[in-house]
Amino acid sequence: MTTLEQRLEHAATLRRSGHNCAQCVMLAFSDIISDRMPEDAAEAFSIALGGGVGGTGHVCGAISAMASTIGIMRYTSPADKMAIYKEVQGLTRSFAELNGGITECRLLRVPGAKSCNLLIQDAVTILHNHISGTDAAE
């Protein structure tokens, strides 16, 4: 399995090459989702999630990418909906706890707040730990 350090480095490399927050998070897990969504499709899918969904400043793209990645990984039928919702709620709660209860891009990006690069690191770390079973997100 890919290590957290490898995922963080991959996300940082993507960021330096111009990818948005959502792309960096989702593509850091391409090794896991590639059997259901090829990397180029994940890259295209996640472009619209950046900047708080299409640059609108709403839900942070890093959170949207965590949620989408879990959906890609876990979904097999509509019966999975509530379990996936619960899982995503736990991930979102973990992200909010690290960031003063804030999940909106426009509020996360105020002067003096964490950089998007650090928010990407938070999301990659939360998702990696969740998938590897080393967290309490439920």
Q: How many secondary structure helices (H) and strands (E) does the chain include?
A: 8, 0
Q: Is the pLDDT of residue 138 over 90?
A: no
Lowest average pLDDT, out of 23-27, 43-47, 103-107, 117-121, goes to: 103-107
**DSSP class of residue 97?**
H
Looking at residue 136, its pLDDT comes to 52
Q: Are 33 and 73 in contact (CB under 8 A)?
A: yes
What is the pTM assigned to this prediction? 0.94
Rounded Cα–Cα distance for residues 62 and 120 (Å) = 6
Domain spans in the chain, listed from the N-terminal domain onward: 4-131
pLDDT tens, position by position, 70-128? 999 999 999 999 999 999 999 999 999 999 899 999 999 888 889 999 999 999 999 99
Residue positions counted in the chain = 138
Q: Is the pLDDT of residue 137 over 90?
A: no
Looking at residue 110, its pLDDT comes to 86
Place of tokens 């927050």: 21
Looking at residue 105, its pLDDT comes to 94
Cβ-in-10-Å burial (0-12, 13-18, 19+) of 66 comes to buried
SS3 104: strand
Looking at residue 111, its pLDDT comes to 86
